[in-house]
């Protein structure tokens, strides 16, 4: 298999787009998070917060989507390397899922702070 390193920017963007497309096709949680992102952007358009809130919310959303993609990659690699059930692989997968939960809770915290701030104005 040919390495993805030292390819043109266009080629690397195609690889990244293929990863996102695969994740959206195969992972319900990633599709859910992508739908939440659309709803979040709609809420931002309605609330019209300061640019700093836009930045925080978009950054949190990007981190949640990235965490979902990392989780997918870890799960796929673990399943490929060790297809049968194994307690250590379960721990790896649980930790990856916990990382998604952590960043999702942080994003919810930012959303709550935005809503509180929006009600003050």
Q: Which domain holds residue 83?
A: 9-120
What is the structure's pLDDT at 17?
A: 96
Question: Domain holding 31: CATH number?
Answer: 1.10.287.3610
* Alpha carbon distance 61, 88 (integer Å): 30
Q: How many CA atoms lie within 13 A of 108 on its CB side?
A: 7
With a CB cutoff of 8 Å and minimum separation 6, the contacts of 49 are 114, 117, 118
Q: For residue 120, what pLDDT band results from cuts at 50, 70 and 90?
A: confident
Q: Does 3 reside within a domain?
A: no
Estimate to the nearest angstrom the gap between the alpha carbon of 27 and the chain centroid. Answer: 11
What is the structure's pLDDT at 1?
A: 56
Q: What Å distances lie between residue 35 and 2, 10, 60, CA to CA? A: 34, 27, 14
What is the structure's pLDDT at 15?
A: 95
Flag whether the pTM goes above 0.85: yes
User: What is the tally of structural domains in the chain?
Assistant: 1
pLDDT in tens, 12-55: 999 999 999 999 999 999 999 999 999 999 999 999 999 999 99
Q: Does 114 reside within a domain?
A: yes
What is the structure's pLDDT at 2?
A: 63
With a CB cutoff of 8 Å and minimum separation 6, the contacts of 61 are 33, 36, 37, 40, 107
Write the DSSP symbol of residue 6.
Answer: T
Q: CA dihedral in degrees (53, 34, 20, 74; nearest 10)? A: 90
pLDDT in tens, 51-92: 999 999 999 999 999 999 999 999 999 999 998 888 999 999
């Amino acid at each position: 298999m040919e390495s993805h390193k030292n390819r043109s920017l266009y080629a690397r963007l195609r690889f990244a787009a293929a990863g996102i497309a695969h994740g959206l096709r195969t992972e319900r949680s990633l599709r859910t998070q992508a739908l939440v992102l659309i709803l979040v952007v709609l809420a931002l358009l309605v609330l019209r917060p300061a640019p700093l809130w836009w930045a925080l919310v978009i950054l949190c959303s990007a981190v949640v989507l990235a965490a979902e993609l990392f989780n997918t990659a870890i799960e796929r690699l673990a399943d490929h390397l060790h297809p049968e059930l194994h307690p250590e692989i379960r721990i790896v997968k649980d930790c990856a899922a916990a990382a998604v939960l952590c960043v999702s809770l942080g994003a919810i915290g930012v959303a709550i702070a935005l809503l509180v701030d929006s009600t003050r104005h």
